[in-house]
């Protein structure tokens, strides 16, 4: 599941909001103004969220919106509103996910060693096959991009990680393929 940066949106006019929503209505533009339309989805929080924004953020053309003219609503082209019947926040059981291979070759696919753990990360260390420290961080949710702490690209091969959390230590290996 993707993680998104969620922040407060402040507008001083009726200009469109161009954001990526966390949950998308599969039916696109809602035309039924008499009945309820169910919109559902899942958003996986990363723990730093403070706001939830609900709305429609697609960039519709003027021709599309002109088909829905409403002479009694002066903002018919630029505003919408929703009645929300319910939102559920459910904490799901955490699953640990630590991959064993990644390919930091700048193709935007699997370019970083990213892991999902159930408790706060205290420290992440990466060692080469000779036991030399190549990367270390004490930042929460930090991923490894295949470079040393000083920014030098690491060679293809097997590396060993130690991820310390508040609850336990996770040790294993990761294969780097460029």
Q: What is the mean pLDDT of residues 115-125?
A: 84
Query: In this predicted model, what pLDDT tens digit does every residue of 124-155 receive, in sequence order?
Result: 999 999 999 999 988 776 789 999 988 999 99
Show contacts of 139-142: CB within 8 Å, 24+ apart: 141/46
Q: Mind spelling out the 3-state secondary structure of the chain?
A: CCCCCCCCCCCCCCCCCCCCCCCCCCCCCCCCCCCCCCCCCCCCCCCCCCCCCCCCCCCCCHHHHHCCCCCCCCCCCCCCCCCCCCCCCCCCCCCCECCCEECCCCCCCCCCECCECCCCEEEEEEECCCCCEEEEECCCCCCECCECCCCCECCCEEEEEEEEECCCEEEEEEEECC
Count other Cβ atoms within 10 Å, centred on residue 77.
16
Query: What domains does the chain contain, in order, with CATH numbers?
Result: 1-92 (no CATH), 101-176 (2.60.40.3080)
Q: What is the mean pLDDT of residues 80-102?
A: 76
Vertex 6, ends 98 and 119: CA angle to 5°?
35
What pTM does this model have? Answer: 0.50
Dihedral sign (CA 99, 103, 104, 106): negative
Take residue 111 and report the two structure tokens written for it. 């370019």
What is the residue whose two structure tokens read 């519709």? Answer: 60
Query: In this predicted model, what pLDDT tens digit does every residue of 153-163 receive, in sequence order?
Result: 999 999 999 99
Mean pLDDT of the chain: 76
Per-residue pLDDT, 17: 67
Per-residue pLDDT, 33: 74
Per-residue pLDDT, 91: 73
């Amino acid at each position: 599941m993707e993680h998104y940066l969620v922040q407060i949106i402040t507008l001083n006019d009726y200009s469109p909001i161009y954001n990526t929503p966390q949950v998308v209505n599969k039916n696109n533009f809602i035309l039924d103004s008499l009945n309820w339309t169910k919109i559902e989805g899942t958003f996986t929080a990363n723990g730093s969220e403070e706001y939830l924004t609900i709305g429609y953020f697609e960039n519709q053309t003027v021709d599309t919106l002109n088909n829905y003219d409403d002479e009694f609503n002066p903002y018919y082209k630029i505003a919408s509103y929703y009645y929300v019947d319910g939102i559920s926040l459910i904490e799901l059981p955490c699953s640990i996910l630590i991959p064993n291979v990644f390919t930091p070759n700048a193709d935007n696919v699997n370019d970083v060693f990213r892991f999902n753990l159930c408790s706060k990360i205290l420290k992440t260390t990466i060692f080469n096959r000779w036991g030399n420290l190549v990367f270390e961080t004490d930042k929460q949710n930090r991923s490894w991009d295949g470079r040393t702490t000083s920014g030098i690209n690491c060679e293809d091969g097997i590396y060993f990680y130690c991820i310390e959390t508040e609850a336990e230590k996770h040790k294993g290996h990761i294969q780097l393929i460029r």
